[in-house]
Structure 1
Amino acid sequence: MDIYAKQRQPGRNPILALVTASLVCFSLVSVVQAKTPYKGEGHMMIEPSEMSWKPVASMAEGAEITVLEGDLSSGEPFTIRLRLPADYKVLPHIHPAYERVTVLSGTFYFAHGEEFRHDEARALPTGSLAIMAPGEPMFGYAGEQGTVIQLHGNGPWGIEYLNPADDPRK
């Protein structure tokens, strides 16, 4: 059952990557109110109706983010969700840290590579997991119904597009 159906709306330099990631994190944090990382004090429980979805400064129009825990600009754990409309493209990019993605609803098509190649992406249905290493180029797109993915890891977090013209912050 898709619990988000009602919420859906129709050759790198590692230091440069870290600086870019830090700038990206600050732009993400300015859009989303970050929450303190969970540190084991009792239980943390969040229902979908309690999540605040906002546009993502570092992604093209249409993508939305909710920060469940953490500050993306710090070295602490974070958990975020991204809601992507139908056929939404995530153009080739890298991240400064491991990316762990769980598909919560819909299908997310994902691939390793420096060029967006629709036919090379693997379909990851609801429940799938993908883990990518830092600095490894990747791209993807949402299926026909859109998708919600959850990312978790340790910051600082950010995104660096392989083609600077793909970066909506510029």
Structure 2
Amino acid sequence: MINAPTRNSRIMIAATALALCIPGVARSQISAATHEPVAPPEPSRVELRPARILIWSDLNVPGFAPGATMAVVHGDPGANRDYIIRLRFPAGYRFPVHWHPNSEHVTVLSGTFLLAMGNTADQSKLRSYGPGDFIYAPARMSHYGGAKTATVVQLNGTGPFAINLGVAPASK
């Protein structure tokens, strides 16, 4: 005999359904706010990317010290679609105040990542983040930082990815 759903099981089903709907609603609101539709993912394509096959290249950004490298894990950071990149910094690396036109979702994979928000690089304000730590930086938020030890971070976002040196202009 099948038991009728209990009040708790109905609440769990409703909460699960709501949790599954929120990402789609949030994506549509973000796309509407930027007035540029985000290209949808290809539904029949699964990507498996072992870390050992990533292709690392120098991160050549004017104003940034040499030594940092970048690998594209998924997507095209230069296009108007989702992407995932990894950034690798040597111990002691520092990057200057800069900002991005789109938000960033950063997860520290290894090492000790240093980051602070602000318009002036003040080394005393840097905070340390370790493996598993997550950082969300809104679009146009000026920030600076580096790495205390050899560090790899993974950055997820929606392109096009751009690095702009200096202080972000006031939001409109």
Task: Provide the rounded CA distance (Å) in 2 between the counterparts of 1:39 and 1:153.
Answer: 17
1:39, CA displacement in angstroms?
3.0
Q: Which has more radius of gyration?
A: 2
- TM-score, normalised relative to structure 1: 0.70
Corresponding position of 2:110: 105
What is the correspondence of 1:19-98 to structure 2 with a 5 Å cutoff?
A: 39-58=42-61, 59-98=64-103
Task: Provide the rounded CA distance (Å) in 2 between the counterparts of 1:44 and 1:73.
Answer: 19
Corresponding position of 1:137: 142
Indicate the percent of aligned positions where both proteins have the same amino acid.
33
Q: Could you say which structure has the greater relative contact order, defined with CA pairs below 8 angstroms and 6 or more residues apart?
A: 1
Runs of at least 4 residues of structure 1 off by over 2 A?
37-43
- TM-score, normalised relative to structure 2: 0.69
Residue 156 of structure 1, aligned match among 152, 157, 160: 160
How many residue pairs were aligned?
Answer: 126
8 A contact 1:38–1:69 mirrored in 2: no
1:67, CA displacement in angstroms?
0.5
SS in 1 for 2:124: helix
The one-letter code of the counterpart of 1:97 is: N
User: What RMSD, in angstroms, separates the aligned Cα atoms of the two structures?
Assistant: 1.6
SS in 1 for 2:112: strand
8 A contact 1:38–1:44 mirrored in 2: no
